[in-house]
Amino acid sequence: MSLRVLLVDDEALARLRLRALLRACAAPAAAVTAEAADAAQAMELLRRQPFDAVLLDIRMPGADGLALAQTVRSLPRPPAVVFVTAHAEHAVDAFDLEAVDYLTKPVRLERLQAALQKVERLAGAGAQPPSAPEALLIQDRGRTERVPLAEVLYLKAELKYITVRTAARSFILDGSLSELEERHAARFLRVHRNALVARHAIRALEKHDDPEEGEGWAVRLSGIDELLAVSRRQLGAVREAMAA
């Protein structure tokens, strides 16, 4: 039985070349059952039909291949991901996302066949690659960085962006604080209309005189000196979380 393959590359010529190589693969046999030119098209296809493998370019318009691979891993039955790219510098990021293989263009037939054999072994064993820690994908100056959620101390909405703070540094994320709260409620607690804090990082609840909001309360988190204001509405929830 042929492996069901989804090709994802914004270049039509690159997809054509991969189709030709896949036709030449003897063991295992593989059939391209769909193609996509970007991450949005790919996810639409992945939600509608099953695939055994995704052959995925990294640099594409919109969400890049690394971001798509992270989303693919959240599917109920995620296909194996094989990166196919001209940019070898992304290999470490790719394997952090548990990619089955990483092929550089121009792709050689024997390397593609070896990658498909890995896919076949995984499918035959009924296994998926082990899960990597949950992380936020941060797009920064042309590169994608994974920030493990376990390292995030707080998420704070500021203007159109969210500040993602770890003990070591800050990142800027384009997203919705409400969506992050809904998705990661077990990990983060809302302390203010504009802030979520990591439950495990809360060290103290202190009286605090805020320049904007006046006298009130704030939480102190492990790893940083910064205090985060707690709204009156959330004060009870913070006390309950600390007592748990």
pLDDT digits (tens, 9 = 90+) for 197-206: 999 999 999 9
At 61, which amino acid appears?
P
Mean pLDDT over residues 112-123, rounded? Answer: 88
What is the DSSP secondary-structure string of 47-106? HHS--SEEEE-S--SSS-HHHHHHHHTTSSSPPEEEEEES-GGGHHHHHHTT-SEEEESS
Q: Which residue has the higher pLDDT, 124 or 137?
A: 137
Higher per-residue confidence, 87 vs 219: 219
pLDDT of residue 215: 86
Residue 52 has pLDDT above 90, yes or no: yes
Query: Within 13 Å, how many C-alpha atoms sit on residue 56's CB side?
Result: 35
Cβ contacts of residue 125 below 8 Å, gap of 6+? none
pLDDT at 90: 60
Which pLDDT score, from 0 to 100, does residue 91 have?
A: 59
In what side-by-side order are the strands of the sheet with 195-198? 170-173, 161-166, 152-158, 195-198, 188-192
CA distance 121 to 113: 12
pLDDT band at 161 (very low <50, low <70, confident <90, very high): very high
Average pLDDT over residues 211-218: 82
Per CATH, is 3-125 categorized as 3.40.50.2300? yes
| Amino acid, single-letter form, for residue 130 | P
2/82: higher pLDDT: 82
Exposure of 44 by Cβ count < 10 A (0-12 exposed, 13-18 middle, 19+ buried)? exposed
**Top mean-pLDDT range of 13-22, 60-69, 128-137, 202-211:** 13-22
Residue-wise burial string across 200-223, b where 16 or more C-beta atoms lie within 10 A, e elsewhere: ebbeebeebeeeeeeeebbbbbee
What is the pLDDT, as a whole number, of residue 56?
Answer: 93
Indicate the CATH number for domain 154-243.
2.40.50.1020
**How many Cβ atoms are within 10 Å of 52's Cβ, its own excluded?**
21
Mean pLDDT of 120-136: 65
pLDDT in tens, 169-190: 999 998 889 989 988 888 999 9
Mean pLDDT of the chain: 87
pLDDT of 51 > 90? The answer is yes
Residue 191 has pLDDT above 60, yes or no: yes
pTM for the whole structure: 0.53
Domain boundaries, the chain: 3-125, 154-243
Q: Which two tokens stand for residue 71?
A: 């989303």
Give the per-residue pLDDT at 14.
94
**Omega prior to 78 cis, within 30 of 0:** no
Mean pLDDT along residues 59-82:
88
Q: Where are the alpha helices (DSSP H) in the chain?
A: 12-24, 39-48, 65-72, 91-96, 109-125, 177-183, 235-243
Q: Cα separations (Å) of 7 from 111, 169, 193, 211, 233?
A: 16, 36, 42, 54, 49
Task: Give the pLDDT of residue 125.
Answer: 53
- Do residues 74 and 25 lie in contact, with contact meaning Cβ atoms separated by under 8 Å? no
Query: pLDDT tens, 130-160?
Result: 455 578 888 776 667 788 889 999 999 988 8
Give the pLDDT confidence score for residue 169 in this predicted structure. Answer: 92
